[in-house]
Amino acid sequence: MHKNKNITILSHLLVWLVLFSMPYVLSYGQNQEINRVIAHFWIPLVFYAFIFYLNYFVLIDRFLFNKKTVLFIVFNIIIIGFFIFIKEYIEDTFFQDIVKRRAADTENSGPPFKMFIYIQMLSYMAPLLFSITIKTTKRWVKTEAEKKEAQNVKLQSELQHLHYQLQPHFFFNSLNNIYALVDLSPEQAKKSIHSLSKLMRYMLYETNMELVLLSKEIDFMKKYIDLMKLRVSDKTEVIYNFPSEETGIKIAPLLFISLIENAFKHGVSASKESKIEMNMTHNHKTVVFSIENDNFPKKTEDKSGSGIGLQNLEKRLQLLYPNKHSFKSSIKDERFLVHLEIETA
């Protein structure tokens, strides 16, 4: 920030230095009349600078941006009129030879005095309009930056809410699975509690970051699938194929777990044979995840999971990967199909 301020000051000094040297640059090699340069160029330039910075630092903020437009115009008319008067006074007092020459030129072929004043008024308007333009542009840029910052804060707040919403949902589903094992297989229930503690440790300590390595997320998914498999009978076949090598790809955490939960919730039957197939591939920075499972719709009174997982996933995808994801689900031949593609870069 301090560096940007120094660059701004240096830029202003450079601009004014260029403007002050313009008479010599434009008439290089010709004889210069120093009094004419002072009277007609340097003195007005000082007045221009005063008008520019007075408006830039004081009048625009105090009057124009506070919708006191009339006062803003009145103040500037008074200031410009005062500078025109001062300029004429300085020329009459210290540069009489230039005044006499200008009077002679006006009598012969020059514009009338009123036109001369009008032209001066217009010339003093230039720094005024320039300061308004710069100040308005700067204010617009600042406003847009504040809007963007507010949107980012809102986005982070929504994501945090969804993240905290997902954790108890996941824990609730896992406890349901373990509860079903307590009577059937106490030993497996103990192992499940141990596995659940590892999964919860990952959720609490690893997923607070915006991005995690895809390999870590895959390891978490495998452990969760193994935990879920303890609950299902031999009639359910679970197949998964995930990348085994380190890809270096980073992705938002806990995006796929809702799909796996949904597959075990709706794709398993206690009396019928069923099959769950999961597959993940990656191409450069695009991750493709698909699931196929039998479709056994739950009854209306079955509130296990509350259906919050997929809703949460869709919201998170919209917030995290806008225009960089594709999420499709369909039912074909009594099989529920899900296809998710995410561009991670």
pLDDT in tens, 3-20: 667 777 787 787 777 777
Answer whether residue 149 shows pLDDT above 70: yes
Band (pLDDT 50/70/90 cuts) for residue 216 is very high
Is residue 44 domain-shared with residue 166, that is, in the same domain? no
DSSP 33: -
- 3's tokens: 């560096």
Q: Looking at the structure, tell me whether residues 159 and 284 fall in a common domain.
A: yes
Is-contact 301 311, C-beta < 8 A?
Answer: no
Q: What is the spatial distance between Cα 229 and Cα 195, in angstroms, rounded to a whole number?
A: 12
Q: Would you tell me how many other CB atoms lie within 10 Å of the CB of residue 336?
A: 20
Q: What is the pLDDT of residue 60?
A: 92
Domain of 202?
150-343
Do residues 28 and 65 share a domain? Answer: yes
Does 286 lie in the same domain as 334?
A: yes
Mark whether 316 and 304 lie in a shared domain: yes
Q: Which of 115, 147, 179 is the last residue of a domain?
A: 147
**Band (155; pLDDT cuts 50, 70, 90):** low
Is residue 296 classed as helix, strand or coil in its secondary structure?
Answer: coil
Domain boundary among the residues 98, 132, 147 is at 147
Bridge partners (DSSP) listed for residue 236: 274
Whether residue 121 is found in the same domain as residue 66: yes
On whether both 61 and 156 belong to a single domain, the answer is no
Range list of β-strands (E), 296-343: 325-332, 335-343
Confidence (pLDDT) at 310: 78
- Do 199 and 299 reside in the same domain of the chain? yes
Q: Are residues 208 and 249 in the same domain?
A: yes
Query: DSSP assignment of 171-234, as one string?
Result: HHHHHHHHHHHHHH-HHHHHHHHHHHHHHHHHHHHTTTSS-EEHHHHHHHHHHHHHHHHTTS-T
Where residue 267 sits, what CATH number does that domain have?
3.30.565.10
**161 compared with 145, residue with greater pLDDT:** 145
Residues 326 and 286: their CA atoms lie apart, in Å, by: 11
Same domain, 154 and 142: no
pLDDT in tens, 88-105: 888 777 766 665 555 555
pLDDT for the residue 22: 66
Strand partners, 278: 240, 291
Q: Does position 43 have pLDDT exceeding 80, yes or no? A: yes
287: number of Cβ within 10 Å: 23
How far, CA to CA in Å, does 203 sit from each of 34, 278, 315?
A: 78, 21, 19
In the beta sheet, which residues pair with residue 251? 212
Domain total of the chain:
2
Output DSSP code: residue 253: T
Task: Write down which residue in 126, 147, 168 finishes a domain.
Answer: 147
Confidence at residue 206, expressed as pLDDT on a 0 to 100 scale: 78
Asked if residue 209 and residue 106 are part of one domain, the reply reads no
- For residue 78, give Cα distances in angstroms to 71, 72, 121, 127, 302: 11, 10, 11, 15, 79
Q: Output the 3-class SS for 95-128.
A: CHHHHHHHHHHHHHCCCCHHHHHHHHHHHHHHHH
**Statement to judge: residues 177 and 324 lie in one domain:** yes
